[in-house]
Structure 1
Amino acid sequence: MKPARTAAATAVGLATVGTLLGGATATASAATTCTAPVYQRQLFANTTFKGTPRKTDCDSAIDQSWSGAPASGLPKDGFGVRWTVTRDFGSGGPFTLTAAGLDGIRVYLDGVRKVDLWKDTSKAVSRTVDVTVPKGRHTLRIDHVNWTGAAKVKFGYAPRTSASADKVAPLAPGGAAVSYDSATGRARTTWSKNKEMDLAGYRVYRRPQGSSFGATPLATTGSTSYTDSSLPADGRTYYYEVRAYDRAGNVSAGSADQGVTTADRTAPERVSGVAVRASTAGNVVSWQASSAKDLDHYELWASRGGEPDPDGPEFLLSADHTDATAEVGTAYTYTVQAVDTAGNISPVSAPVTAARPAASAVAAPAGLTGTPADAATRLDWTPSGDPAVTGYRVYRRTVHNGGWTPLGTTATASFADTSAPRGKSYYYVTAVDGDGAESAPSAEPAVERLTPATATGPAAPRLTLVSTGIPARSPVVLTAAPGAGDENRLLQGYSWEIEGACGGSGVNLSATGDISWKPPYNGPCTATVYAVDAYGRQSGQGSSLEFFVGR
């Protein structure tokens, strides 16, 4: 009798493999090598699986019945059929094995028997068992024998997908890679297909460099690639990560991060806070500093009568500028744009307009000098001697072409700048007449200030013992220097006290820091030294040295 598989069995078999084995299908053939999840099937002319199989082919599903011999050359009774498949189970986890047969059927996982329905019976037998499959590659083997009569066999395996049963997270997706199209600004992330049989999909995450991945994915997909069309074009580096999740809700660890550096097409925001103040030194334009992290410079545009400056804009690093070339009495309109390192230019700011005033007829101050000290920079100049002068106005800037800031007005020919910053500052002074008009600016001295103004006194000095008065009655020599953090502070000098064998000198002041005296007798000696700043403030704590003088 010829072997036959019923149409119903064939349909059920294909449906089963589509559900349980990822939809792979294969037709029986003479090939002896079968690609998982397709089974290799061997048919034997005995029930002990001894000798060489009479036939070897591939089978996409185990759901068959025979009323006679299963293949040519096999008996209708007393034959055996063996199916094997080796496949990757991914992270593994809980599975269900379902087996039914007439006559006998046995199921093995990696050689360990999991189902044993091995009897000659006239009634079909079946069993369902739950097993835990470790991660990675494993082999299923299904043995079926028919001793007499009709033969039936059916087998299937599937992951258990309830959240209560499956606590095993999928494996992290492998093979992640990302490519970036600078023309479109899109990034395409790809990865290898996950081996999980209960895979539900993938979640794609994105983060900028220096940040962490958030809880919400950028996208969820069932494919093994994703194209990000929402990537900012700001020149920053962004990283992508992919996580797999299964039908029980378990989520894998992330794939290896893959980064792309975007083309920067994002312009800085429009410059705000633009203001202009007209003075006899020129039109002073200022604005709020740009928040762009990749700011390169500002472009300050000036126009007169609606005509832009033919020389083009001023290229500036600071957020202010003095237009000293503006003509007196002529209205100038100014706008500002920020430019980043990629050359992107912000929208044009709101315009501001001013006209440079004519200087008062009173003479400008002369002989302006600046003297830096610890708590202030002192400015002095020669009074103009003009009875029309009612006072003087002082200006400062810290960038050679930056904007001038008015510091205050004084009736005398001196001024103390207590807010002077560290570094170089530029100053000028104008004379103010009875109408409040200002003269032309004085000359601009530059003052280098190494120590910014401070409300506290100096730190305790550092001492070096040069000579300890040995041999007896030879001089003791100390050298004092500014304390840590005060290396550039301007000091009057050092106040020092000695006691013990050193003598009892009382309080002395050394302007140079070199302290020397002869001790009156031999023995232990203590010297305590304080730093004194330019305003007479003494360090809160002195520095002491203890040593022995004489022999």
Structure 2
Amino acid sequence: MTTRIRLSALATTAALAASGGLLTATPATAAVTCTAPVWKAEYYANTTLTGTPKLTTCDSVIAENYGTGDPAGVTLPRDNFSVRWSVTRDFGSGGPFTFTAEAQDGIRVTLDGVRKIDLWKNVSTTQKKTVAVTVPAGRHTIHVSYATWTGAANVRFGYTPNTSATVDRVRPLAPAGASVAYDRALNRATVKWAANKEMDLAGYRVYRRPSTSAAWTKVSGSTALVTGTSYVNSPPATGERFLYELRAVDRAGNESPGGADLTVASVDRTAPAAPTGVTADDGAPGVTLTWKPVAGAAKYHVHRQRKGTTEPVAQVATGVTGTTWTDAGAAERTAYTYWVSAVDTAGNASARTPVTVTHDDWTAPAAVKGLTATAREDGVHLAWTPNTEGDLKRYEVFKATLWDDGEGGTAWVAHRVEYLLPTASSYVHESAADGETVLYAVIAVDTANNMLYIPDPAIDWVEVTELGTPDEG
């Protein structure tokens, strides 16, 4: 509160400004602009607030104690002067306010020209009044008129929002001027907005939801409010679109409607789920892996390591778009651990799902070479070049005879005639000396029972005519 005493005729405008209550002092002939919520004060040398103001100033508050002196030095008389304060400001959503006035002598208060307080009379003691006023949303003007006739002079006025939750049921306005900037490298959304105009504003809440959902989630903390006009949040890095919404909250706990929705397309750094149902089947082509499809997967990677070794895990397949893959390069008689991972369109790879399998021997021994067949009295003598495979188990001897179907059609029909040790390189097949032309083949078999089968073109069939005279039937 400023106390003003009687000033001498030499008092200056600078001395008036330095006294504390008046922020600036400007001669009446100069234009004065006071920015809300600062009051514009106009001083008159009469009690009717008429004519040209003798002094125009800007006051931060209306709280003056002039005593019995001239409030403007040489400008105003000691008695019978008046002051009009005015302020035009944005009240946001408005709501319930308390207007408090006290003065010696008269004071009147209006809101947009409508009188709210009227204590316009000459008194010898300070008179006071408090009223409840509902201020509509938007911009409004308050005028405070004061007059003193004789004796001591003082005046005070204030307006404050009523923040009682039982009284204030007016929601703040939705925040305006909102924008969002998204940093993909940091996965960081920075939301900014313009400050609300409500005098009872407590802060803001920030909400977020996926574009595929209508349910909002508060992301600005469970209880604390944002008191500034910006907020940084990291949305889930899933590649989805997210919407942000701002809501203002007043000191009575009323929350505003949501402001404009702000959209962010997040960077995708979320890997798909690991594949399930991974199995490995061993076969002649190699090890065949299968697994169940993974939601969101664009392709699959396969890694491999020989079981029981410390050799590096090697990636053996990339870009597998199906749910099966065959490792044709697996070494026979070797155990492997395979890992399958799912990869999405952003290149995020899931955890790897392992499976262990042994790739057995599925390769038949080479075709027997150098086979010769010689007809003898005791049968047919076969000789060949021994195979070199280390896992050779035996040889099997086959004989084919020509079959006549009786209707002019013929075909060679083969049957096994003997099993031989892997050390054998010759054999005499005892057969009747009937002069028949036949075919012979020797096929190698390994310890895994792999062998070439009769139709295989690699088998070397040798033709021989047995001794004797053909049976005419």
What TM-score do you get using the length of structure 2 for normalisation?
0.68
Q: What letter is aligned with 1:347?
A: A
Tell me how many residue pairs correspond in the alignment: 351
Residues 310 and 55 of structure 1, relative CA distance in 2, 3 Å threshold = closer
User: Corresponding residue for 1:155?
Assistant: 157
User: Corresponding residue for 1:476?
Assistant: none
Q: What letter is aligned with 1:68?
A: G
Whole-angstrom distance in 1 between the partners of 2:450 and 2:143: 103
Deviation of 1:234 after TM superposition, in Å, equals 2.2
Query: Can you list the C-alpha shifts for 1:194-228, whole angstroms capped at 9, x where unaligned?
Result: 10110111011111221234354433311111111
User: Corresponding residue for 1:225?
Assistant: 230
Residues 141 and 214 of structure 1, relative CA distance in 2, 3 Å threshold = same
Deviation of 1:360 after TM superposition, in Å, equals 9.4
User: Corresponding residue for 1:64?
Assistant: 64
Query: Can you list the C-alpha shifts for 1:105-154, whole angstroms capped at 9, x where unaligned?
Result: 00000011110001111121111111111100000000000111111111
Deviation of 1:338 after TM superposition, in Å, equals 1.5
Aligned residues of 1:300 and 1:315 also touching (Cα < 8 A): no
Whole-angstrom distance in 1 between the partners of 2:40 and 2:164: 31
- Residue correspondence of structure 1 range 315-354 to structure 2 within 5 A: 315-354=319-358
User: Corresponding residue for 1:509?
Assistant: none
- Residue correspondence of structure 1 range 412-451 to structure 2 within 5 A: none
Deviation of 1:270 after TM superposition, in Å, equals 3.3
User: Corresponding residue for 2:278?
Assistant: 274
Whole-angstrom distance in 1 between the partners of 2:35 and 2:338: 75
Q: What letter is aligned with 1:125?
A: Q
Decide which structure has the larger Cα Rg and report it.
2
The answer for unaligned runs of 5 or more in structure 2 is 1-5, 12-16, 366-395, 397-412, 417-448, 454-473
Q: Are 1:290 and 2:286 an aligned pair? A: no
Aligned residues of 1:44 and 1:50 also touching (Cα < 8 A): yes
User: Corresponding residue for 1:35?
Assistant: 35
- Residue correspondence of structure 1 range 149-548 to structure 2 within 5 A: 149-214=151-216, 216-219=218-221, 220-228=225-233, 230-291=234-295, 293=296, 295-303=297-305, 312-356=316-360, 358=362
3-state SS of 2:342 partner: strand
Q: What letter is aligned with 2:62?
A: I
Whole-angstrom distance in 2 between the partners of 1:287 and 1:86: 72
Aligned residues of 2:282 and 2:357 also touching (Cα < 8 A): no
Whole-angstrom distance in 2 between the partners of 1:439 and 1:146: 125
- Aligned-pair RMSD on alpha carbons? 3.2
Residues 259 and 226 of structure 1, relative CA distance in 2, 3 Å threshold = same
Whole-angstrom distance in 2 between the partners of 1:440 and 1:313: 31
Residues 440 and 356 of structure 1, relative CA distance in 2, 3 Å threshold = farther
Whole-angstrom distance in 2 between the partners of 1:142 and 1:440: 113
Q: What letter is aligned with 1:129?
A: V
Deviation of 1:342 after TM superposition, in Å, equals 1.2
Deviation of 1:312 after TM superposition, in Å, equals 4.0
Aligned residues of 2:181 and 2:191 also touching (Cα < 8 A): yes
Q: Is 310-319 or 107-116 further displaced after alignment?
A: 310-319
Whole-angstrom distance in 2 between the partners of 1:354 and 1:288: 22
Query: Can you list the C-alpha shifts for 1:379-415, whole angstroms capped at 9, x where unaligned?
Result: xxxxxx9999xxxxxxxxxxxxxxxxxxxxxxxxxxx
Q: Is 70-79 or 103-112 further displaced after alignment?
A: 70-79
Whole-angstrom distance in 2 between the partners of 1:101 and 1:188: 50
Aligned residues of 1:189 and 1:227 also touching (Cα < 8 A): yes
3-state SS of 2:23 partner: coil
User: Corresponding residue for 2:7?
Assistant: 2
3-state SS of 2:123 partner: coil
Whole-angstrom distance in 1 between the partners of 2:24 and 2:298: 70
User: Corresponding residue for 1:520?
Assistant: none
- Could you say which structure has the greater relative contact order, defined with CA pairs below 8 angstroms and 6 or more residues apart? 2
Query: Can you list the C-alpha shifts for 1:456-510, whole angstroms capped at 9, x where unaligned?
Result: xxxxxxxxxxxxxxxxxxxxxxxxxxxxxxxxxxxxxxxxxxxxxxxxxxxxxxx
Deviation of 1:184 after TM superposition, in Å, equals 1.8
Fraction of identical pairs, as percent: 48
Aligned residues of 2:98 and 2:159 also touching (Cα < 8 A): yes
Q: Is 125-134 or 317-326 further displaced after alignment?
A: 317-326
User: Corresponding residue for 1:53?
Assistant: 53
Query: Can you list the C-alpha shifts for 1:16-68, whole angstroms capped at 9, x where unaligned?
Result: xxxxxxxxxx8233271000000000000011111100000100101111121
Deviation of 1:247 after TM superposition, in Å, equals 0.9
Q: Are 1:141 and 2:146 an aligned pair? A: no
Deviation of 1:275 after TM superposition, in Å, equals 1.7
Deviation of 1:237 after TM superposition, in Å, equals 1.8
Deviation of 1:328 after TM superposition, in Å, equals 4.5
User: Corresponding residue for 1:91?
Assistant: 93
Residues 312 and 275 of structure 1, relative CA distance in 2, 3 Å threshold = closer
Aligned residues of 1:110 and 1:138 also touching (Cα < 8 A): yes
The answer for unaligned runs of 5 or more in structure 1 is 5-9, 15-25, 363-384, 389-436, 442-551
Deviation of 1:296 after TM superposition, in Å, equals 1.6
3-state SS of 1:221 partner: coil
Whole-angstrom distance in 2 between the partners of 1:196 and 1:105: 26
